[in-house]
Amino acid sequence: MAHPPGVLRGFIHGMLGRIYRLCSNLSDRDAHLHKFYRHLLHRGHKPPKVLPIFTSAIESFRNPSDPNLQEQQVSNRPLFFKLEYHPQDPPSH
């Protein structure tokens, strides 16, 4: 518990958002959520403090209040451009 108390809520919401974005398989997602919760408890956080934050974060990802949230998450994904190899390696300018 080396962080200031105000950081915990953002840390939990950020990590749960990461888990929801990266895990498409529900059983994998649940396993990672449970593992993260246990990690917080092992690091000294108490269930009465962590559980309400954890529950509200899960609810916000299961039932987003913004109906366009799903589209925003998809549209904000990084794009990768693949350029064709040029045998004479032209300069960038």
Mean pLDDT by 10 residues, the chain (93 residues): 78 92 89 94 92 90 58 56 69 66
What pLDDT score does 86 carry? Answer: 66
Question: Which amino acid is residue 82, in one-letter code?
Answer: K
What pLDDT score does 69 carry? Answer: 45
What pLDDT score does 52 carry? Answer: 94
User: What are the C-alpha distances in Å from 11 to residues 17, 57, 87, 91?
Assistant: 10, 10, 47, 44
CB contact at 8 A, 43 and 8: no
Cα 20 to Cα 1: distance, rounded to the nearest angstrom: 24
What pLDDT score does 71 carry? Answer: 43
Q: For residue 43, what are the contacts with CB-CB under 8 A and spacing of at least 6? A: 1
